[in-house]
C-alpha cells in the first residue's frame, strides 16, 4: 500500500512505540489492577448470594478479556495518546511546521501519521494484553483474600475460559481501536485551526470523539463477532 511505502520512518516509529507503550505503562497497570479488583469485589458478593462464587474466575476471564480489558485500555490510551498526538500535530500546524515540512518535499502523512498508526497497531494490543493480565491478577487477590476462594479454583476457572473465541475478540478489538485512535487523533491535529485555542479545542474533541467511537465500535464488534464465532465462545 502506498501509504506505507518508501520512505519509511523507522526511527519515528520506534520512538512512538516507546512513547505510547512505555509511556502508558503506569496508566495501564493502575487501570488493570483497580478495575480488576473492583469488578471482582462486586461480583464475588453477588455470586456468593447464589452460592456460585467459585465461578468468579470464569466471569473475570470472560468479562475482562472480551470487554473490560480492551475498552478500558482503549479509553486510557485514547485519553493519553490521542490528546498527545492531536496537540502535537495541531501545534506543528499552527506554527507552520507542517507547511515547512511540505516545502522541503516531505510528505507529512508518511512522516507523522504512518509511524504513529503503526506504533498504535503494535502497542495497543500489547498494552491490552497486559491490562487483561493485571486485571485478572487483581481479581485473584480479591478471590483469595476477600471472597476466600482457593487459588486453584480461581485459576482453573480462568483457564477454562481462555479459549480461541475469547482470545480472538480480546486481540481483535484493540487492533481496531488502534486505528480509531490513530485516524481520529491525527485528523483532528491536521484540521485544527485558530492558534493555541484551536489546538485546545481540537485536542478536547479528539479525546471525546475517540472515546465515544471506541465504545460504539466495541458494541458492534461484540455484536458481529458473537454471531460469527458462536461455536468458539
| Stretch near another protein under the rule CB under 8 A, chosen from 17-25, 104-112, 123-131, 148-156 | 104-112
Cβ of residue 103: shortest distance to another protein, in angstroms? 4
Q: Is 12 in the site for another protein (CB under 8 A)?
A: no
**8 A C-beta contact, residue 90 and residue 203:** yes
Q: Which of residues 14-43 bind another protein (CB under 8 A)?
A: none
- Residue closer to another protein, measured from CB, 160 or 193: 193
- Residue closer to another protein, measured from CB, 103 or 230: 103
Q: Is 156 in the site for another protein (CB under 8 A)?
A: no
Cβ of residue 145: shortest distance to another protein, in angstroms? 47
- Residue closer to another protein, measured from CB, 77 or 91: 91
Q: Is 104 in the site for another protein (CB under 8 A)?
A: yes
Q: Which of residues 80-99 bind another protein (CB under 8 A)?
A: 91-92, 95-97, 99
Q: Which of 106, 141, 144, 208 binds another protein (CB under 8 A)?
A: 106
Cβ of residue 108: shortest distance to another protein, in angstroms? 11
Q: Summarize as ranges the residues that interact with another protein (CB under 8 A).
A: 7, 91-92, 95-97, 99-100, 102-107
Amino acid at each position: 500500500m502506498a501509504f506505507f511505502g518508501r520512505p519509511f520512518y523507522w526511527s519515528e516509529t520506534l520512538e512512538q512505540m516507546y512513547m505510547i507503550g512505555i509511556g502508558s505503562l503506569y496508566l495501564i497497570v493502575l487501570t488493570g489492577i483497580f478495575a480488576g479488583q473492583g469488578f471482582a469485589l462486586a461480583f464475588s458478593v453477588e455470586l456468593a448470594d447464589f452460592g456460585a462464587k467459585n465461578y468468579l474466575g470464569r466471569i473475570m476471564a470472560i468479562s475482562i478479556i472480551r470487554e473490560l480489558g480492551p475498552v478500558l485500555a482503549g479509553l486510557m490510551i485514547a485519553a493519553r495518546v490521542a490528546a498527545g498526538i492531536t496537540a502535537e500535530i495541531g501545534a506543528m500546524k499552527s506554527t507552520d511546521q507542517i507547511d515547512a515540512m511540505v516545502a522541503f518535499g516531505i510528505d507529512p502523512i508518511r512522516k507523522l501519521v504512518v509511524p504513529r498508526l503503526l506504533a498504535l497497531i503494535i502497542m495497543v494490543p500489547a498494552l491490552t494484553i497486559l491490562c487483561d493480565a493485571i486485571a485478572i491478577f487483581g481479581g485473584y487477590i480479591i478471590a483469595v483474600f476477600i471472597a476466600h476462594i482457593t487459588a486453584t479454583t480461581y485459576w482453573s476457572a480462568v483457564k477454562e475460559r481462555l479459549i480461541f473465541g475469547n482470545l480472538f475478540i480480546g486481540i481483535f478489538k484493540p487492533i481496531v481501536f488502534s486505528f480509531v485512535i490513530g485516524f481520529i487523533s491525527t485528523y483532528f491535529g491536521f484540521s485544527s485551526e485558530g492558534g493555541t485555542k484551536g489546538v485546545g479545542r481540537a485536542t478536547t474533541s479528539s479525546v471525546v470523539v475517540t472515546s465515544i467511537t471506541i465504545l460504539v465500535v466495541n458494541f458492534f464488534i461484540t455484536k458481529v463477532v458473537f454471531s460469527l464465532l458462536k461455536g468458539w465462545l
